[in-house]
A = this chain, B = another copy of it.
Amino acid sequence: MKKLNVVKVGGNIIEKEEDLQAFLDAFAALPEPKILVHGGGKLATQLAERLDIPVQMTNGRRITDAETVEVITMVYGGKVNKSIVAGLQARDCNAIGFSGADGNTILSVKRPVKDIDYGFVGDVIAVDSTMIANLLSIGITPAFCAITHDGKGQLLNTNADTIACELAIGLSEKYEVTLNYCFEKAGVLLDVNDDNSVVKDINSEKYTQLLNDKIIADGMLPKLENCFYALKGGVHQVQLGKPEMLKNTITNFTTLRL
């Protein structure tokens, strides 16, 4: 089975020009086929503030009204996505930028209102892995921003970790997929302030043990839930760590398998 890398790049890397360029170097050096996924939450917040559009967060999630989905579309789909695409082209990586609306690649439903109305936020219901595989087969590297659509003309703000996870699962029918989460930390850490305390390998048993010992810090919990959801959905392995892990020049990162 052909190998495929799905790589999510974290917000703290995107917003620092130097870190973004170093990440793009590492990503472009990966053999094809590959897919990039990014968000850009902090940059969207900065633009919203400049435009006097109130930023409303609940449990770390953005409440996305009509004005906010427009800001997100400008920042994720425009500014960040196109500069990443141009940066990859400069590295001879033939990228095309995507939202889930482009090529109808990721279809979502607007999140139903329960206790909280998140507004124009999408929950993924379908990935068109055939379309994406067709593009990969002609040498294209898709670069996805964290936007999907409902198929009826509405763009929807969608968590970038979730998009990476759903793409990785959807493409596991056709490829042996490694899902990579690149961020500013070295991986899952026993001590959140010590990059040398990386837990290098986590399987289901180790995961349960880490949960029981309350080793996994708050922010890492949903990320690891995503990782095991991906593994159970057919993804071969998940890697968490700094962008250098893509180049195999470091061994200090976390690998997750079932």
**Residue A2 lies at the interface, judged by CB distance under 8 Å to chain B:** no
Q: Provide the A146-158 mask, 1 if CB < 8 A to any CB of B, else 0.
A: 0101011111000
List 7 other contacts, CB 8 Å, given A73-B82, A76-B78, A78-B79.
A47-B74, A77-B97, A86-B153, A87-B153, A89-B101, A89-B151, A103-B140
Copies of this chain present in the complex amount to: 2
Complex contacts, A153 vs chain B, CB 8 Å: 86-87, 89-90
Can you offer 16 A-B residue contacts whose CB atoms are under 8 A? Answer: A51-B51, A77-B77, A77-B81, A78-B79, A82-B102, A85-B101, A85-B102, A86-B99, A86-B155, A87-B153, A89-B151, A90-B151, A90-B152, A94-B103, A95-B101, A97-B97
- Restricting to A154-201, which residues have a CB under 8 Å from any CB of B? 154-155
Closest residue of chain B to A93 (Cβ to Cβ) is: B104
Complex contacts, A102 vs chain B, CB 8 Å: 82, 85, 95-97
Complex contacts, A89 vs chain B, CB 8 Å: 101, 104, 149, 151, 153
**Residue A144 lies at the interface, judged by CB distance under 8 Å to chain B:** no
**Residue A75 lies at the interface, judged by CB distance under 8 Å to chain B:** yes
Report the interface size class on chain A: 35 or more
Does the CB pair A99–B82 fall under 8 Å? yes
Q: How far is the CA of A131 from the CA of B141 in the complex (A)?
A: 13
Does the CB pair B97–A154 fall under 8 Å? no
**Residue A209 lies at the interface, judged by CB distance under 8 Å to chain B:** no
Does the CB pair B147–A138 fall under 8 Å? no
